Structure 1
Amino acid sequence: MTRTWTRHWTPLAIIYLSLAVAGLIGTWWFNALAITQMNNFIGDLVSSGPAVSSITVDLLVVAIAGCVFIIVEARRLRMRFGWLYVAASGLTAFAFTFPLFLAMRERRLTLLARAVE
């Protein structure tokens, strides 16, 4: 007997979920490294030279645009708790929550497409 939740995991959703796991592990590894070395995390982001500051601004703008997309798309698709992905990005990392949202969005789109059939 096939469980109903397994039918909605498309290859694209699995790719997004894999990226979410990689984002979580990668960012938390370096965060833990910064904490154990007692680095000034925020200070390093903005004062380690123009290249690091450029990347920081670049990723910050992308993260803000992604947060707007998450809220708008979650509402459009009637996904519950869309705001939770944005809030969780502050506790984990946007590199985790954004691909996770994309995986759940893909599952939702698959569910909606199959409901029409």
Structure 2
Amino acid sequence: MQSRRLALVYLVLGLAGLALTWSQNLAYFGPAAAGGFADFLRGTVANPGARSIAFDILIVGWTASIWMVIEGRRRRMKFVWLYPVLGWTVAMAFAVPLFLAVRELALRTPPEIEGRPGLIDGLGLGLVSAFALVLLVLGVRAAGLI
């Protein structure tokens, strides 16, 4: 019963994250938005404070994505790649609590049948993420955003 309550708390947090982020996204990209996504990206690097928050979220998001895939495979959760995809396309504030809710329910699985990801899984995800970060920083820099 405890795990169901905790899963419910995670789901409520995920729904709050979805509502809070998308209320702002819709306000930003609403009818009055002229600059579109490029203007949105410029806003994330507009000053050192915005860059600090953007880079903080970026690193936490990549870290969470790697962990969600590895932990999800270890727990043999279905559709484990869906959580990082939701995080990067919808909101990390939605995807991470959703993953935690599903994981909490998956923790009820006996440990002897858990999957065990290999070392290459974590290294591969880490290398791909590091490469993506380098490309992102170079692209933002080339676009003159920082």
Query: After the TM superposition, which segments of 4 or more aligned residues of structure 1 sit over 6 Å from their partners?
Result: none
Distance 1:81 1:105 in 2: 12
Q: CA deviation at 1:9?
A: 5.7
User: Which residue of the partner structure matches residue 104 of structure 2?
Assistant: 106
* Equivalent position of 2:49 in the other structure: 51
What stretches of structure 2 of length at least 5 have no aligned partner? 111-146
2-side partners of 1:73 and 1:8: how far apart?
21
What SS does structure 1 have at the residue aligned with 2:76? Answer: coil
Give how far 1:89 is off.
Answer: 1.9
Q: What residue number does 2:21 align with?
A: 27
8 Å CA contact 1:8–1:107 kept in 2: the answer is no
**Structure 1-normalised TM-score?**
0.83
Identity of aligned residues (%): 37
Greater per-residue helix proportion: 1
Q: CA deviation at 1:104?
A: 0.2
Q: Which has the higher contact order (CA 8 A, sep 6+)?
A: 1
Are the counterparts in 1 of residues 3 and 105 from structure 2 also a CA contact under 8 Å? yes
SS at 2:81's partner residue? helix
- Matched residue pairs, number? 106
Which residue among 74, 77, 81 is the counterpart of 2:75?
A: 77
Q: What's 2:85 paired with?
A: 87
Take 1:9 and 1:32, find their aligned partners in 2: how far apart are those partners? 34
